[in-house]
Structure formats: C-alpha cells, structure tokens
Amino acid sequence: MIEHQPPGAALILEKIVRADAVLYGTPLYGHSYSGQLKLLMDHRVALFKFVGGADKAVEEMEIQSFIASKPVGLVVSCQGPEKDNTELVKMQFDKFCESSLARCFGKYVFPWCSPDVEETRLSQTTLDVIASDLDRLDKAARS
C-alpha cells in the first residue's frame, strides 16, 4: 500500500513504520493541524486497512495496521492559550490513533509562541515532560 503513495510520502511513511516512536509536530492553524501535517495524516491511511466484509459498518470491521501499538505523540505550538484553543487538534489526534491502532504516549502544547522563532521561549517544563515520556518509552522497550 505504501508503494502506491507519492514518492515523498512513501519515504516518510516507510520511516514511520521503521521508527520506534513517532512525535508529530505542528503549529496550530484554525484549531487544527497545519496543512502539511494534515496531508501526511491523510497519506497515513496507507498504513492500515479495514477488513471483514463490505456489508459491515466500519466499527464492526477488523483493522490491520502497520503501526499498531506504535507509540506516537503530538507537539503543538500556538500563539494563544492551551485552554479553549487546542481541544479540537487533540481530539483529531485521538481519532488518528484510534483509526490506525497507534498508541498515544502524549499530547504536548507550547502556548503563547511568537511567530518570530528567535524570540520564542519554549516551556522548559513541557520539554522536560516530553523527554521524560520518551525516556520512559525507551526503558519499556528495552525491558
């Protein structure tokens, strides 16, 4: 299925399949992903398929996924607050994980980011949480 994707998308999808974990990142646009990440998420349907008969509802079909149980996370930067601003993108990511059988290890937000990257101060606390969660995943994979 990956081979039927555009060359650039196929290369990224192959790397996702081989990765131990995937951390997706996006600025917040209209309470959702950037167009570039949305396009990647649309191509990721090549990583799973529904089986079990065309006469069944989607929720009754079995899902076969190349990224089943793969740890995935989401990092979002936004110019405003996290509260009442990032709920939609978090819900969309939950649906992405559910439909592809991936395992969400975290959703992280950097609020109040300036469009001028040089002046932006990312939250050290959020960076520490991401590092800790990735370290926890690594330790779990080794045991």
The answer on pLDDT for 32 being more than 60 is yes
- The reported pTM is 0.82
Count Cβ atoms within 10 A of the Cβ of residue 15 and give its class: 0-12 exposed, 13-18 middle, 19 or more buried: exposed
Region 109-121: mean pLDDT is 70
Q: Is 19 helix (H, G, I), strand (E, B) or coil?
A: coil
- Cα 25 versus chain centre, distance: 8
What tens digit of pLDDT does each residue of 62-98 get?
777 888 889 999 999 988 888 999 999 999 999 999 8
Domain residue extents for the chain: 2-142
Of the pLDDT bands very low, low, confident and very high (cuts 50, 70, 90), residue 14 is: confident
Q: How many residues does the chain have?
A: 143
The mean pLDDT value of the chain amounts to 84
Amino acid 1: pLDDT = 55
- Going across the sheet that includes 22-27, the strands are 22-27, 71-77, 103-110
Is the CATH code 3.40.50.360 the one for domain 2-142?
A: yes
Determine if residue 29 is left, alpha or beta; phi over 0 gives left, psi from -120 to 50 gives alpha, anything else beta.
beta
